[in-house]
Amino acid sequence: MIVERRSLFCLVPLLILIGMLHITKSMHFTIFHFVRSGILDGVSRAKEMYGELKIMVTEHSMGGAMAAFCGLDLALIYGGNNVEVMTFGQPRIGNAAFASYYSEVVPNTFRVTHEHDLVPHLPLIISTYHIRPIITFQQS
């Protein structure tokens, strides 16, 4: 009986996390749009000062989802060959159509993950997809 209780208590934080991620999935896109004007202004100023330069967008974990949306937006504005995106431990975003479109528009994207990190496997909804390519580090 004690083992069953411990198992249940171990699942509760995971279920809460999954529920929070399902709710926050659409919030990444919303938060990105809140800061979008500042990002576009900063990129515009940097291009004025330094001329044509490549843009690299990077972030970790949940912020990686926002970085992917930001990279897509910048690639649509400045061209996909001028934007690179590298995320670390990014959760899944979008569906199959979005993942395919994203890979076409932002070809210079790399997702770095660790096999034991939970976040890159979330949300645990079958309809969400990974943006490719994925570089996965395994436990040695």
H-run or E-run covering 84:
strand 83-88
Contacts of 3 (CB under 8 A, 6+ apart): none
Query: Which pTM value belongs to this model?
Result: 0.72
How far apart are alpha carbons 100 and 79 in whole angstroms? 17
The predicted structure's pLDDT at residue 120: 76
How far apart are alpha carbons 92 and 22 in whole angstroms? 11
The one-digit pLDDT tens for each residue of the chain (140 residues) are 344 444 434 444 444 444 444 444 555 566 777 788 889 999 999 999 999 889 999 999 888 888 998 999 999 999 999 999 999 988 888 888 888 899 999 999 998 888 888 777 777 765 556 666 666 766 66
The predicted structure's pLDDT at residue 79: 93
Q: Where are the domains of the chain?
A: 2-137
Q: What CATH architecture applies to the domain 2-137?
A: 3-Layer(aba) Sandwich (3.40)
